[in-house]
Structure 1
């Protein structure tokens, strides 16, 4: 005869077997009335049932697990792609912001170039004195601090990307096209050219074109200036 023994939590029912035999099968002796209803619990049955329940999976669980993993991997890829797009967006915004800042700075500084030219000419003629000198030097210091850099020196190799040649000639003392005179200094902010330096350049004499029709050597040829001896021939 069996009874049901309830778990204290009320979730698991364990069958209880009561041995009501009057003769003990092991000793062969008559049992007392108290021993005739001793409960015998089959502890192996719940364990076996638990193991069976633990090892039993609903049909289709493997397929559902594979689908869940595939969906999780897809969501992870979406998250990584979204994060990469956000990082690229931030970089693009920062780059555009820096470009706008540099452009605005260049526009402001380019408006001061004429003033800087006047200060430079006044210094060359010795007129940069007194209060005017103090103001001029303060302005030059301010634009330098803002990133404006003046360039262009006699003897620099001519670079068409940063120089503008207004005069041209030939010289025995140069090996490459060289700036021989700075007509107007150039200015730049970082890699941005605000104004190209306007210069006079000279090439090596070896590059001088051969004379035609037995003419004289013509001396040094400079754009904008007459060839030597031209007045005498007239």
Structure 2
């Protein structure tokens, strides 16, 4: 019986311990559940706040899209004015280009006319110069024709006519601006003389002209024909 009582006491203690353990477990479980519920409440609140913020942002964006009609009208007016300015600038540029093209064509035509006129004036000037030269030579030609009449009948008159023609040649040269040069005793100048021969005559100064085979002629600074001469050697 003593043993039975001890067993009962032990059994009773185990039961009480189990009950206490269960109570403790239940208490812990309640705490965890309560904490979980609190966390869920916080998450729900945060999600609700995020959704509300998103809605607010969407409303702000919608407001931005839905602009004031007056502002839209002003912007449209500004765009139209800018477009009109661009069109005007384009028209002005096209007009300036057309004007430039016309000026270029006129300038090209004027230059072509000037070139043709210059060529014609130069040709006319040459022709006038030739005409003037020939006109001044006509008296000499007349004298030659008159002298030729006495070739067979009166040789003396022919000789006199030739002398008369030769006498008038310097005047003809002078009237044309032509100068004859090349005389015996002149110092040889290779710039205007052509040394055809060299003379060994000891009486002449070395480098001087001892004979003129063909006179030279010049018009101003231009040599028309070099004088063909004989030059004394050293």
The TM-score normalised by the length of structure 2 is 0.40
More strand by share: 1
Q: Which has the larger radius of gyration?
A: 2
The TM-score normalised by the length of structure 1 is 0.40
More helix by share: 2
